Amino acid sequence: MEENRTSENKYCQAEVRKNIVLAEIGQPLTIPLARLNQDCDFKKKWDKIQKKWHGQYELDSEKEKVAKYNKEYNQRPEVKLKSKEYYQRPEIILKRREYHKKYYQRPEIILKQKEYRQKYNQRPEVKLKSKEYHQRPEIILKRREYHKKYYQRPEIILKQKEYCQKNKEKILARKKAKREAK
């Protein structure tokens, strides 16, 4: 039996599988159950066997019992109503807004959202939908109107003048290249 153990004092997978088969057919185990329960594969199989033989088996931990009770409790209509009333109170709404505002300003969350949006926008169906939306006549008109208003703002006019003064040579070169291309 000593040769069936690995260096971490665990049993080899062949021995564990052998004990799973023995458990299924109702024969005595060759390794103590306490030792076998340390192996995740055996534990899962053992739970299935117990469920098959004895129906719904006793929950393993107190946490699972509490979680099950909480789930049942929160599904009750009176509890749902009370919860809904609580979350509609103005101070709770403000508190949650404040929390979410802080949460979504965290650098790791900003990065995570940015990555998700990039992946989402690369989907073919999303690209197609976006293209269709931006080609609608009312959207084109709306965008044109916005740009007209935007470029008439005094601060934007100032920015454009500054840019033109700084990059006069580049602008002239671009215009010359366009004329020659025609």
Q: Is the pLDDT of residue 17 over 60?
A: yes
Among the ranges given (65-69, 99-103, 128-132), the one the predictor scored with the smallest mean pLDDT:
65-69
- Measured CA to CA, the distance from residue 19 to residue 42 in angstroms comes to 8
- Positions of E strands within 58-133: none
Mean pLDDT for the stretch of residues 71-85: 95
- In this predicted model, which residue has the larger pLDDT, 55 or 151? 151
Give the per-residue pLDDT at 40.
Answer: 67
Q: Which of 10, 5, 6, 7 is nearest to 39 (CA)?
A: 10
- Location of structure tokens 């269709």: 132
pLDDT in tens, 29-68: 787 777 777 776 777 777 777 776 666 555 557 788 889 9
pLDDT score recorded for residue 91: 97
Position 72 pLDDT exceeds 80: yes
Q: Residue 115: is its pLDDT beyond 50?
A: yes
Residue 4 DSSP class: G
pLDDT at residue 89 greater than cutoff 60: yes
pLDDT value at 111 more than 90: yes
Burial of 57 (0-12, 13-18, 19+ CB in 10 A): middle
Q: What is the mean pLDDT of residues 81-108?
A: 96
| C-alpha dihedral sign at 78, 84, 87, 88 | negative
106 or 22: which leads in pLDDT: 106
Which structure tokens are listed for 27? 């024969």
